[in-house]
Amino acid sequence: MLYDQNPLSAHERLADNRPLVGVELRPPRTGMSHRDSIDVWIDMYHAMERLARRDTVVFLTDNAVGEAEEENLGHLSANLSDQVDRGKVVPFLTTKHPLDYCHLYASRALASGFGAITVLGGDTDVGTPRCVSHSSELRKSIRSRVPELRLGGWANPHRDLQGQVRLLASPDYEIDFFLTQIVSHHRLEEVERFVTATRKRGIEAPAVFGVFFYRSARPETLEWLSRYFPVPVEALSREFERGMSAVDVCVATIRALRELGAERVYVSNLDLHRVDQQYAEILAAVDC
């Protein structure tokens, strides 16, 4: 579907049984010049306007990996065009902020028209310390104060399977949906075990699997990315050498996930200047 004739809120769309290709965008880093920062935000607003016309959900990150980004909610609330349905946008919030700030953030999000946020723990090795030890504690605290807000969580199919499933199945995890770490068609065994285990456990919260848009197979880039999630460096290099495009590689993962029954994904690292074109090519290739 190119244009969304029946727009749903993010949570409604995630609960829908139809396949979904969502998009993850990242705000500009702190420390950029004012002019450069404004340019990135303008590009992001334009990208979000184009994406909001489509049958998708847009996730906007926070500084989960310790590399501080400008606050997403303030910019969105002040500057996002009225043409963008804010109900289709899901900002991230990590625990790497003061607790009072997190509570205020949740209230501001709902008041500004964002009906859902994703609450993550954030990298414990770098950056600001967490305000609570686990993201579930923050979600529970937010739920008690802003019960109308839908809350997303996080899971990692590459980690201890039973431990991840126990967390997701626990009512104390406080999730209405959850995103996963980046996965790949080159490591499907872990994903298949994860999908099977969550089904057996009866986990009903919609899962949205992460798919990275590798723009190239530059060794320096892949090495840097490997610090944050498993990157199949050699396999990716072979695919690009065979002439596969960035879209081809991305689509290969989405198709492989669908064969396993993982029908909801979010695509990370699309080019802000070409997001509409790249997204359209992905949709056309996966017959979405």
Residues 41, 287: Cα–Cα separation, whole Å: 31
How distant, in Å, are the alpha carbons of 52, 80, 120, 205, 267 from that of 94? 24, 22, 5, 20, 20
How distant, in Å, are the alpha carbons of 61, 118, 183, 219, 221 from that of 224? 19, 25, 16, 9, 5
**Options 2.160.10.10, 3.40.309.10, 3.20.20.220, 3.40.630.40; which CATH number does 10-286 get?**
3.20.20.220
Domain boundaries, the chain: 10-286
Q: What is the pLDDT of residue 1?
A: 43
Neighbours of 168 (CB within 10 A): 21
One-letter amino acid at 104 equals: L
H or E element in which residue 137 lies: helix 135-145
Quick one: how many helices (H) and strands (E) in the chain?
11, 8
Q: What is the pLDDT of residue 5?
A: 55
pLDDT in tens, 25-38: 987 666 667 777 78
Residue 157 is given by DSSP the state: T
| CA 71 from centre of chain | 16
Residues 11, 13: Cα–Cα separation, whole Å: 5
Nearest alpha carbon to residue 277 among 46, 59, 18: 46
Q: What is the pLDDT of residue 70?
A: 53
One-letter amino acid at 69 equals: E
pLDDT in tens, 174-227: 999 999 999 999 999 999 999 999 999 999 999 999 999 999 999 999 999 999
Q: What is the pLDDT of residue 78?
A: 77
Positions in the chain short of pLDDT 50: 1-2, 64-67
- What's the token pair of residue 134? 């686990």
Q: Which residues of 58-68 are buried (b: 16+ CB within 10 A; e: fewer)?
A: bbbbbbbbeee
Q: What is the pLDDT of residue 27?
A: 77
Nearest alpha carbon to residue 272 among 47, 57, 37, 116: 47
